[in-house]
Structure 1
């Protein structure tokens, strides 16, 4: 490729940096981040060329750059190119334990990239590219399907006199002369344009590039025409909503969101979306329930994109190896998170909170749900930030960012929310942190043993040592800690078939993975029935940690058994650990409420 005389030095002026610190960032700020990303990609490409012989692919890409530099720049800045570059470099350094695809296929993606550039630059060439299980993906263009003879082989991409073909093993796929057109054996990348003139979002619906899924590559899986049309409809509606309710964010997205990778729909109200710092501008998302959910997903991942771009220019944390293994409560996750991951989540969910704050003003048909989401996420974000406010690893910029977001959140917490959605949001926020503690806070074994002996000896209360704050020990079985919030969303959705009926809590719970009958009753507002359901569940299956947290919330809501309620709401891990230990030494497990009441008594 043509060498630049010198790489630019990138910096963010104070006003642009201030936008990002507030969790915002307009088009000009995005352009500055993109400039930094472009230099980073060029450096990664040079590092890859230094580490291995890219040979004909490098030469072909250089020729394309001389003829059509904008085409090569577009390919360079494509999110999947960034993902491929870092994946290939990690594999060369032995940092990615992958068996498939073979390394030569990984590195051969450079040839596919060069072929795509040459095809778009419209000149004659021929080059060998990898075949992946019978498919030949060409970045930003599409994917050819050839007869599969073996998982990993090679094909030739050839262009001559305006005709382009991909050929291997006696088979040939001709590329349609018009970009974006389908043809026999050829699946084009779909380019979607939504919105009115001057406010359009141009985005690639990428279902074929191997590096479209983050963090691990996957083989091409072309969408059906019907599925692609559904994604277009959803995107059109989501974009219209963002233009109407979040115009500044939407304008910035036009500069910083380039590709959308569709994945199959998940459980209702539980969308899955992913982005990656190495794939600036790329979003991977499951098929949404509706346009509002897709709009939230785009806001969520765009926040990650902006923060990722900022982190490529300047750090928010120091590298303190003594503290690098600290793990924290992230209200949007099932697992404990390192500080770096927690900051990413805080930044993303500040954006989500801001979305719901505006949406509740503009969506009268969904007011209860919007109020609930706003109240829930502002509480979650506040909880997350309070844990790490003024953490010693924060750089001055990291401190400023967290202080600013914390101030915004404090203002949001003062905004009025109607009583019912506010109460439900507090219920779900408190329940989530209690379930997380029940799974991931582990009291010291000696303290648990002393508590067991004290219980068996008939002591008036537990030993004081049990009150020592337990360490975080990740529990890999922790899943679906948000089940109560999912049930509340079903309740607030308004559809008759989604209303939680007190006559059928088991059926209601069955709609939500990980939900217990007690959860359904609690979400429906029957705390007394929920209490009995949790006790029955613990008698039949004593191990689920979440049932202890749910029982505490039911007792607190009903206003009964205050000592047990307080203990289980704030320290369910003590009841869970002591109960499990007692099961190992007694034939009959203790009554959960009686045990929790004892554990909540003053130390003996």
Structure 2
């Protein structure tokens, strides 16, 4: 169960992505590459199946039948973001010589979900973790057992165990079924996944099941944030619509909002509930920038992994490797661009001016260090060249002199503090 397709970005798509944008066509190309990657990882795992060969062969047959039945819907299921999260975790365990049956059996569950999407009947044994039987992308059934059977009949999924039957229906919640919730705005929807067993890896624990009232608050903020993007950054809204699929709520510390993107999972990120619609909009753009660059890195290296130089990043207190600094600069180009556009909102103008001035100065500082690095590959240099053009256009935007001066002073102060903390400049 592998893919031999070679995915390459057309030059025009690369240039758009390299400048910090891209458009729907570029995002579609990145998503196609992720499907290809997921299939390759699945093939790797099937070769190292930790259970009976007959069980593995049944999974291979179910996946192949689903793909032949409806290739487009099959790709949509296999390309889901948290499939990438699961695959990375499962492959890491296999490489360490510790393949887990629960990881392998998650693939059996995924095959049944693909079957339901493509009209293929079947059944498979799936794991039950702490009373939760995962149906990938749809939710979890609450089962008092160690294993269960996930069955597909006429496009409907049901979990069976010891005479208990639980219907796995999206957006239908009962005493035994916890579906993945959705955040909606206009004709767009995102999954708000607080149940998937492979949703961790963000350096902050994922939140447990959110109360309905909390989900309602997320919904209100998301709808307002999406409206801001649609009215003031339509090109960003198009990108997000094309590629962002899932949000994972993270545990809150009561001090500050946090967000993070998993390197191997395109189109998903974790976050605590943003304090405002504007911050939500900025966070959506910020973290999707990380997803875009990570997906590009799956296709081409941007930096030399042997380069050990460490750099100053205005948004971090620790010295950063070149790859980390490049990620930060790429993400903050999106942050600066978002605050630039939000200056048009009367209630946000003053705050947006300050945030825009700060973010563009941070991008300029980080990008200048990258431009001086010998560790960039040819693709990395092409990316940086496009980022410089975009950054210069941001620097050319008029900002009140006092705000621009304050951003420059803040940047210099942070650099002094960083030097005091880390010693002499490393770059």
Number of residue pairs aligned between Structure 1 and Structure 2: 422
| Contact 2:206 2:251 (C-alpha < 8 Å) held by counterparts | no
C-alpha deviation, 1:411, in angstroms: 3.8
Separation of aligned partners in 2, 1:254 and 1:342: 27
C-alpha deviation, 1:243, in angstroms: 0.7
Does 1:231 find its partner at 2:222? no
**Bigger shift: residues 208-217 or 289-298:** 208-217
| Contact 1:271 1:285 (C-alpha < 8 Å) held by counterparts | yes
Residue in 2 aligned with 1:434?
416
| Contact 1:390 1:399 (C-alpha < 8 Å) held by counterparts | no
Candidates 54, 63, 66, aligned match of 1:64: 66
| Contact 2:204 2:250 (C-alpha < 8 Å) held by counterparts | no
Candidates 23, 33, 36, aligned match of 2:33: 36
Separation of aligned partners in 2, 1:404 and 1:70: 33
C-alpha deviation, 1:412, in angstroms: 2.9
| Contact 1:369 1:421 (C-alpha < 8 Å) held by counterparts | no
Candidates 167, 175, 189, aligned match of 1:184: 175
Residue in 2 aligned with 1:286?
272
Residue in 1 aligned with 2:75?
73
Is the alpha carbon distance of 1:318 and 1:56 closer, same or farther for their aligned partners in structure 2, counting shifts above 3 Å?
same
Does 1:46 find its partner at 2:48? no
Separation of aligned partners in 2, 1:219 and 1:424: 37
| Contact 2:206 2:248 (C-alpha < 8 Å) held by counterparts | no
Q: Name the SS of the counterpart of 1:81 in structure 2.
A: helix
| Contact 1:137 1:143 (C-alpha < 8 Å) held by counterparts | yes
| Contact 1:192 1:232 (C-alpha < 8 Å) held by counterparts | yes
**Bigger shift: residues 329-338 or 211-220:** 211-220
| Contact 2:313 2:366 (C-alpha < 8 Å) held by counterparts | yes
Q: Name the SS of the counterpart of 1:8 in structure 2.
A: coil
Residue in 2 aligned with 1:302?
288
Separation of aligned partners in 2, 1:92 and 1:297: 34
Does 1:421 find its partner at 2:414? no
Candidates 347, 350, 360, aligned match of 1:378: 360
C-alpha deviation, 1:332, in angstroms: 1.6
| Contact 2:199 2:206 (C-alpha < 8 Å) held by counterparts | no
Separation of aligned partners in 1, 2:390 and 2:302: 19
Candidates 7, 10, 28, aligned match of 1:10: 7
Residue in 2 aligned with 1:172?
164
C-alpha deviation, 1:276, in angstroms: 2.5
Does 1:156 find its partner at 2:149? yes
Separation of aligned partners in 2, 1:35 and 1:70: 11
Residue in 2 aligned with 1:368?
350
C-alpha deviation, 1:220, in angstroms: 8.1
Residue in 2 aligned with 1:409?
391
| Contact 2:84 2:264 (C-alpha < 8 Å) held by counterparts | yes
C-alpha deviation, 1:136, in angstroms: 1.1
Residue in 2 aligned with 1:26?
23
Does 1:203 find its partner at 2:190? yes
* Structure number with larger C-alpha Rg: 1
| Contact 1:173 1:185 (C-alpha < 8 Å) held by counterparts | no
Candidates 218, 230, 246, aligned match of 2:233: 246
Separation of aligned partners in 2, 1:118 and 1:59: 11
Is the alpha carbon distance of 1:216 and 1:105 closer, same or farther for their aligned partners in structure 2, counting shifts above 3 Å?
farther
- 1:24-46 Cα offsets, whole Å, 9 max, x none, are 10111112222222222221211
- 1:316-346 Cα offsets, whole Å, 9 max, x none, are 1234x2x2x2221111223221111110110
Separation of aligned partners in 2, 1:347 and 1:82: 22
Matches within 5 A, 1:496-515: none
| Contact 1:265 1:288 (C-alpha < 8 Å) held by counterparts | no
| Contact 1:140 1:189 (C-alpha < 8 Å) held by counterparts | yes
- 1:484-512 Cα offsets, whole Å, 9 max, x none, are xxxxxxxxxxxxxxxxxxxxxxxxxxxxx
| Contact 2:77 2:114 (C-alpha < 8 Å) held by counterparts | yes
C-alpha deviation, 1:167, in angstroms: 3.6
Separation of aligned partners in 2, 1:220 and 1:272: 12
Does 1:356 find its partner at 2:339? yes
Which ranges in structure 1 are unaligned for 5 or more consecutive residues?
A: 442-468, 473-604
Q: Name the SS of the counterpart of 1:425 in structure 2.
A: helix
Separation of aligned partners in 1, 2:390 and 2:152: 56
| Contact 1:57 1:110 (C-alpha < 8 Å) held by counterparts | yes
Separation of aligned partners in 1, 2:150 and 2:203: 26
Is the alpha carbon distance of 1:217 and 1:423 closer, same or farther for their aligned partners in structure 2, counting shifts above 3 Å?
closer
- 1:252-304 Cα offsets, whole Å, 9 max, x none, are 21111111112244556x42111123111112111010111110011011111
C-alpha deviation, 1:131, in angstroms: 1.0
C-alpha deviation, 1:81, in angstroms: 0.5
Separation of aligned partners in 2, 1:440 and 1:328: 10
Is the alpha carbon distance of 1:471 and 1:282 closer, same or farther for their aligned partners in structure 2, counting shifts above 3 Å?
closer
Q: Name the SS of the counterpart of 2:311 in structure 1.
A: coil
Is the alpha carbon distance of 1:471 and 1:68 closer, same or farther for their aligned partners in structure 2, counting shifts above 3 Å?
closer
| Contact 1:80 1:279 (C-alpha < 8 Å) held by counterparts | yes
Is the alpha carbon distance of 1:294 and 1:183 closer, same or farther for their aligned partners in structure 2, counting shifts above 3 Å?
same
Is the alpha carbon distance of 1:173 and 1:414 closer, same or farther for their aligned partners in structure 2, counting shifts above 3 Å?
same
- 1:382-439 Cα offsets, whole Å, 9 max, x none, are 1111222132121223123223322432343343322443344334322322222222
Q: Name the SS of the counterpart of 1:243 in structure 2.
A: helix
Separation of aligned partners in 1, 2:174 and 2:126: 20
C-alpha deviation, 1:308, in angstroms: 1.6
TM norm structure 2 = 0.90
| Contact 2:340 2:356 (C-alpha < 8 Å) held by counterparts | yes
Q: Name the SS of the counterpart of 2:175 in structure 1.
A: coil
Q: Name the SS of the counterpart of 1:296 in structure 2.
A: helix
C-alpha deviation, 1:64, in angstroms: 2.9
Separation of aligned partners in 2, 1:240 and 1:234: 10
Separation of aligned partners in 2, 1:405 and 1:117: 39
